[in-house]
């Protein structure tokens, strides 16, 4: 996985919180407020949205029952115009495989915009299915960002979005 150097100067936000839904909005606002000290307004809002959608997925699709860790880790690092947003939460091989399938589906399109539009048409015209899968598509386009995922040996799923902003 691509990663910023651990000693990279610049913006850094890191915390660990429970999976309470209310924490997502609190952290979205905290990330935006902090990012505004470094980045322009649009970029700061994008960073907050990316963090928020990744946290929503972690809470919704994390495997919390029986997990030894009952918290999610949220980290945002920015250096110059490159920003990395990372959310880590308990998961499973099955959940990680589901996510990888979804990412592969997104990559099967020529662009994230095309995948986003295809899903918009589907949701606006076809009968409802269980999972909308809009969160990752949305941040891939709005960020814009690339998204990677990795399941650790401890069954923690790390989802990382890398976006380019304006200082």
Partner 1 sequence: MIEHDLGDLKLRTTETAEAVVVTWLGRSNAATPGDLVSPPLLAAADRAAATNLPLVFAFEQLEFFNSATITVLLRTIRALRGRPVSLTLRYDEEKRWQRMFFDAFTGVGLGEGDNVRLEAVRA
- Residues contributing to the site for partner 1 (CB under 8 A): 21, 24-25, 28, 42, 45-46, 49, 52-53, 56, 59-60, 113, 116-117, 120-121, 123-126, 128, 132, 134-135, 137-138, 141-142
- Which lies closer to partner 1 via its Cβ, residue 8 or residue 144? 144
Count helices and strands (H / E) in the chain: 5, 5
CB of 29 to partner 1, least distance (A): 9
Residues 6 or more apart in contact with residue 149 via CB below 8 angstroms: 96, 99, 100, 103, 157, 158, 159, 160
- Which lies closer to partner 1 via its Cβ, residue 1 or residue 36? 36
Three-state DSSP class for residue 38:
coil
DSSP state of 30: H
- Which lies closer to partner 1 via its Cβ, residue 1 or residue 121? 121
């Amino acid at each position: 996985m691509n990663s910023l150097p651990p000693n990279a100067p610049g913006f850094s936000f890191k915390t660990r919180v429970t999976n309470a839904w209310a924490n997502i909005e609190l952290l979205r606002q905290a990330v935006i407020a902090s990012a505004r000290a470094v980045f322009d307004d649009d970029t700061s809002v994008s960073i907050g949205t990316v963090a928020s959608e990744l946290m929503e997925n972690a809470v919704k699709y994390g495997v919390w029952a029986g997990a030894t860790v009952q918290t999610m880790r949220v980290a945002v690092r920015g250096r110059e115009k490159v920003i990395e947003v990372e959310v880590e939460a308990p998961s499973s091989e099955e959940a990680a495989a589901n996510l990888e399938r979804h990412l592969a589906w997104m990559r099967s399109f020529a662009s994230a915009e095309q995948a986003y539009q295809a899903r918009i048409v589907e949701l606006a015209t076809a009968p409802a299915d269980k999972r909308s899968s809009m969160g990752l598509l949305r941040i891939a386009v709005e960020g814009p960002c690339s998204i990677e995922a990795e399941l650790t040996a401890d069954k923690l799923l790390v989802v990382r979005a890398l976006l380019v902003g304006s200082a």
